[in-house]
């Protein structure tokens, strides 16, 4: 689970997503001939948590879903969004995007659409409430994120670099293969668009 002052109040995917997530995890695990115990060992997630995820009874963090996805040789988007791969995929209205993380302060991360290839770019929109933050675990080597800040000032903290303040209208790139965080140190909300390109994890 991400760390930080608001960590105890953070939430993972919302209820409508949990049944779909559980069924996809179970199907992929069975297709690969894995037991729950074997998937637990691969992912570093407890058997109890995995069983609850498959039954749609858990509310896992974004980090947990990502670990399970990688252990199943897919990515978060492969478990989160539609399987269809039409030439033009028209996604439902933005108001119905998949909420992958939220906090009691009113912050939220919405996953809108992804490319068809594993690890391909993912399009997100984020809102951070004043004083809130999101702490992320390192992505596989070579992973990157792009940002476009729409309102407020987004502060990006990452291992090995000084914190960077990105005011509205600023675009930036981050090497996300390290621990990093999004922080709102201002008095108003921060909104930004994020494009994540997560490299497949080495086996």
* Average pLDDT, consecutive stretches of 10 residues, N- to C-terminus, the chain (203 residues): 42 67 88 92 92 86 82 78 54 64 90 72 94 90 94 96 96 94 97 89 59
C-alpha closest to that of 125 among 143, 112, 107, 139: 112
Q: How many residues appear in the chain?
A: 203
What CA–CA distances, in Å, run from 57 to 69, 153, 157, 192, 202? 18, 37, 33, 31, 30
Q: Which residue in 130, 135, 129, 164 sits closest to 147, CA to CA?
A: 164
Residue 148's H or E segment, with its range, is strand 144-151
Task: For domain 94-197, say whether CATH 2.60.120.10 is its number.
Answer: yes
Buried b (16+ CB within 10 A) or exposed e, 67-78: bbbbbbebbbbb
Specify the CATH number of the domain 10-74. 1.10.260.40
Phi, psi of 35 (to 5 degrees): -85, 165
Beta bridge partners of 196: 122, 145
DSSP secondary structure, 99-140, as one string: EEEE-TTS-EEEEEEE-SSTT--EEEEEEE-TT-EEEEPPPS
Domain boundaries, the chain: 10-74, 94-197
Question: What pLDDT does 5 receive?
Answer: 41
Helix (H) or strand (E) holding 191: strand 190-197
Q: What local confidence, expressed as pLDDT, does residue 7 receive?
A: 43
Query: Can 10-74 and 94-197 be said to share one CATH topology?
Result: no
Q: pTM for this structure?
A: 0.73
pLDDT of the residue at 87: 57
Phi and psi based region of residue 160 (left: phi greater than 0; alpha: psi -120 to 50; beta: remaining): left
């Amino acid at each position: 689970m991400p760390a930080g002052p608001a960590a105890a109040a953070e939430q993972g995917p919302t209820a409508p997503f949990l049944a779909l997530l559980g069924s996809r995890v179970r199907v992929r695990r069975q297709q690969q001939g894995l037991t729950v115990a074997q998937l637990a060992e691969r992912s570093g997630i407890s058997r109890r948590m995995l069983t609850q995820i498959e039954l749609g009874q858990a509310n896992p963090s974004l980090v947990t879903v990502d670990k399970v996805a990688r252990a199943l040789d897919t990515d978060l988007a492969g478990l989160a969004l539609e399987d269809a791969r039409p030439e033009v995929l028209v996604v439902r209205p933005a108001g119905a995007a998949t909420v992958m993380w939220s906090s009691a302060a009113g912050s939220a991360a919405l996953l809108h659409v992804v490319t068809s290839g594993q690890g391909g770019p993912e399009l997100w929109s984020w809102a951070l409430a004043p004083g809130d933050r999101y702490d992320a675990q390192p992505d596989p080597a070579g992973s990157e994120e792009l940002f476009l800040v729409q309102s407020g000032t987004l502060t990006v903290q990452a291992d090995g670099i000084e914190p960077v303040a990105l005011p509205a209208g600023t675009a930036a790139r981050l090497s996300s293969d390290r621990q990093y965080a999004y922080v709102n140190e201002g008095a108003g909300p921060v909104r930004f668009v994020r494009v994540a390109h997560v490299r497949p994890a080495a086996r």
